[in-house]
């Protein structure tokens, strides 16, 4: 147990130094880049506005082949992934994370995911 304490202290300071020195991207330290064309004010937007901006960020309704929502994520299959906007765009809309795999994307909106999906369905 005593040796473990020394290892913990050693690893803690070594990794902290490496992360800070080399600016390694760890969870919670991602770049928060703002798109030039997306300067959102700090005001809260309505759910329908958010849904229309999410739809725009996904490349429009013609780019979506399938959309669904679970408890925390908006799951979307796209025709062309190249039309999707940057992660910063969706984070400005309230997303806490974006996962991309192939032509599908999952946007984490938390409890609002199902509501946003219903609003997007109305727009399509």
**Three-class secondary structure assignment of 54-69:** HHHHCCCHHHEEEEEE
CB atoms < 10 A from the CB of 58, how many? Answer: 22
Give me the residue label for tokens 């409890």.
111
CA distance 9 to 17: 12
Catalytic residue among 47, 70, 118, 124: 70
Q: Is 18 a catalytic residue?
A: no
Tell me if 74 sits within 8 A of 93, measured CB to CB: no
In the block, tokens 């992934």 appear at 81
How far apart CA 124 and CA 122 sit, in angstroms, is: 6
- The residues that are catalytic are 70
């Amino acid at each position: 147990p005593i040796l473990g304490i020394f290892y913990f202290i050693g690893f803690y300071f070594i990794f902290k130094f490496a992360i800070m020195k080399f600016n390694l991207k760890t969870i919670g330290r991602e770049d928060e880049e703002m798109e030039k064309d997306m300067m959102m004010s700090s005001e809260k937007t309505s759910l329908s506005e958010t849904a229309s901006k999410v739809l725009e960020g996904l490349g429009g309704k013609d780019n979506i082949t399938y959309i669904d929502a679970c408890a925390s994520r908006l799951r979307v299959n796209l025709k062309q992934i190249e039309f999707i906007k940057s992660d910063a765009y969706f984070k400005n809309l309230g997303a806490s994370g974006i996962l991309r795999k192939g032509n599908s994307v999952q946007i984490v909106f938390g409890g609002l995911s199902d509501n946003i999906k219903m609003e997007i369905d109305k727009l399509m």
